[in-house]
Amino acid sequence: PGAQTNAWADYDGDGDLDLFVGFRNAPNRLYRNDQGSFVDVGLEAGLAVEAETRAAAWGDYDLDGDPDLYVGFAALGIDNRLYRNDEGSFTDVAGELGIGQSGTTRQPAFLDYDGDGDLDLFVAFRDRPNTLFRNDGTSFQNVTAESNIGDPRRTVGVAWFDMDNDGDLDAFTANQNGDEDGFFRNNGDGTFTDIARQLGMHQPGRAQDLGSVGTAVGDYDNDGDLDLFVASYGPDVLWENRGDGTFVNVAPGTPLAGDHHSVAADWGDINNDGWLDLYVDTFLSSEAEARDYLFIGGPEGFTEALPAEMLEHGASHGVRFADYDNDGDLDIALANNHAEGKHPLYRNDLVPELATRSLVVAVINQAGNWARAGTKVTISRESDGFLSARLVDTGGGYSSQGVGPVHFGLPPGSGLVTLTISWFEDGQLHTMTVPEISLEELTSKWLFVRTEVR
């Protein structure tokens, strides 16, 4: 058995993040987090299916206050499932909702592409056109054809974020086997246009054994906009957002430009210095000793610094950062594809004065539900000009999407911080500001921000 994918969410609403792990040749697992200790409740929750599970996405599609779970499999003959969460008990409703497709599933994502307040569902496939389901509140409608987003190329990873600063969510598709990548601009009318070639982001002329795989979105340079890392079979790519709807690959000449048969990546500020760090999985690397990579970010660029104790597990298949023990620093969960079914979880033990130099922000809608996937959260500090942005999860890490707060580490310094929340609803971009936040006066682990259209 091997762990293929993992995804975090607080499925039971107790204030800490639980972990779903999808397997090949072993039952899937749901680890309930009880204040930092984990118990596998997959069987009793109804999630312990034994099939090659390559994809998982959490999202509160029915807006009842708890995250539901979409699970995608890797072969024909078994339909993908949407498990409705009813107070910790899960029921497959994919068939009755009309979304029970089968195929070689890769990246699913819950997101509100049309800005109507509920979560729609996008599913990427490696062997068939991608599919977009619009959530109409009580059912899902397949709108792939009319939306023009049914990319027939062999898609493995997808990143949804607002790449052109018009408020709505656009989609970058990472395609394998020599296929060019796509970048589907949301036209705001329910349709999409692939502008990857126009932007020079299509990666032309790749050999059949090369292609893009995993995606990770983050503000690596702390300029307030969202950049895109693409893990690849071939040199990895870092698309820097220029702020005007264009991107440039800045990986060449840096440690990030490795050719390690990378499959997945995730951004996170693991040392709470205010700069994002990057973990890259290199499963199936042709190198003599396959291994993962951890790149520490800073104002001068990136330095490779994977701790020795993390080299022992070799190369991994998926990675997700999360502060599972609520101590202020980010921990790392890996889907290792290990023959014995192992999947390492590394606890980050920063000293308390560093661990608490962070802010964890939970963005919810006006009803208090986790339905703001794709929202951009920006933090700023007037005392020293610190600025950084995060994306509320829309998928990454290898074919997974979590539901949870965004984490900011802060550089040394003092002073109040301000949050700016930007999201798309009712056909337009909305922005709200939470000013003068004192970290010292916060009394809870997560700062909840309720967003509502005024």
- In sequence order, what DSSP letters do the residues of 19-87 get, joined into one string? EEEEEESSB-EEEEEETTEEEE-HHHHT---BS-EEEEEEE-TT-SSS-EEEEEESSTTS--EEEEEET
Average pLDDT over residues 283-301: 82
What are the pLDDT digits (tens) for 386-413?
999 999 999 998 999 999 999 999 999 9
pLDDT at 84 > cutoff 90: yes
Helix (H) or strand (E) holding 97: helix 94-97
Asked whether residue 365 is domain-assigned, the answer is no
Element (H, E) at 105: strand 105-111
Q: Residue 256: give its domain's CATH number.
A: 2.130.10.130
Average pLDDT, the chain: 93
93 occurs within a structural domain? yes
Closest among 357, 434, 363 to 404, alpha carbons compared: 363
| 77 band by pLDDT with thresholds 50, 70 and 90 | confident
Residue 444 pLDDT: 81
Please state the rounded mean pLDDT for residues 190-207: 95
Residue 324 located in a structural domain: yes
In a domain, 444, yes or no: no
Residue type present at position 223: D
Q: Residue 207 sits in which domain range?
A: 2-346
197 falls within a domain = yes
Q: How far apart are the first and last CA of the chain?
A: 51
Do 140 and 95 contact (CB within 8 A), yes or no? no
Residue 285 has pLDDT above 60, yes or no: no
Residues 6 or more apart from 310 whose CB is under 8 A from it?
292, 294, 344, 346
Q: Where do the H-state alpha helices sit in 103-150?
A: 144-147
Biggest CA-to-CA distance, the chain: 59
Give the whole-angstrom CA distance, residue 23 versus residue 446.
31
The model's pLDDT over 148-189, given as tens digits with 9 standing for 90+, comes to 999 899 999 999 999 999 999 999 999 999 999 999 999 999
Length of the chain: 454
Is a pLDDT exceeding 90 seen at residue 248? yes
Scanning the structure block, which residue is given the tokens 């080299």? 311
The stretch 1-16 carries a mean pLDDT of 93
Q: Does the pLDDT at position 33 exceed 60? A: yes
For 195-224, what is the mean pLDDT? Answer: 95
Amino acid at 62: D
pLDDT (mean) for 20-47? 96
CA gap 147, 192 in Å, rounded:
6
pLDDT computed for residue 282 by the predictor: 87
Residue 28 pLDDT exceeds 60: yes
Burial (Cβ within 10 Å: 0-12, 13-18, ≥19) of residue 151: buried
Looking at residue 222, what is its pLDDT? 98
* 394, part of any domain: no
Task: Please report, for residues 3, 19, 325, the alpha-carbon distance to residue 348 in angstroms, rounded to integers and kept in the order given.
Answer: 21, 17, 9
CA distances from residue 386 to 241, 261, 391 in whole angstroms, order as listed: 18, 35, 17
Structure tokens at 220: 């690596």
Other beta carbons within 10 angstroms of residue 145's beta carbon come to 10
Q: How many domains does the chain have?
A: 1
pLDDT for 314 equals: 67
Provide, for the chain, the percentages of residues in helix, strand and coil under a 3-state DSSP scheme, each rounded to the nearest 5: 5, 45, 50
* Cα(231)–Cα(285) distance, integer angstroms: 12
Rounded Cα distance between 15 and 34, Å, is 10
Buried-state track 205-243, b at ≥16 Cβ within 10 A, e below 16: ebeeebbbbbbbbbbbbbebbbbbbbbbbbbbbbbbbee
pTM for the full model? 0.96
125 belongs to a structural domain: yes
Confidence of residue 284 (pLDDT cuts 50, 70, 90): low
Q: Burial, 352: exposed, middle or buried (Cβ in 10 Å; 0-12, 13-18, 19+)? A: exposed
CB 72 within 8 A of CB 53: yes
C-alpha 124/C-alpha 128 separation (Å) is 8
Distance (Å) of CA 20 to CA 40, 249, 276: 9, 33, 25
Q: Per the domain annotation, does 219 fall within a domain?
A: yes
Six-digit token pair at 426?
Answer: 């009712």
Kindly report, residue by residue over 315-351, the tens digit of the pLDDT.
Answer: 788 999 999 999 999 999 999 877 777 899 999 999 9
**Residues 103-148: tens digit of each pLDDT:** 899 999 999 999 999 999 999 999 889 999 999 988 999 999 999 9
Question: For 134, phi and psi rounded to 5 degrees?
Answer: -90, 130
For residue 96, the surrounding DSSP H or E stretch is helix 94-97
The mean-pLDDT minimum among 93-102, 305-314, 360-369, 442-451 falls in 305-314
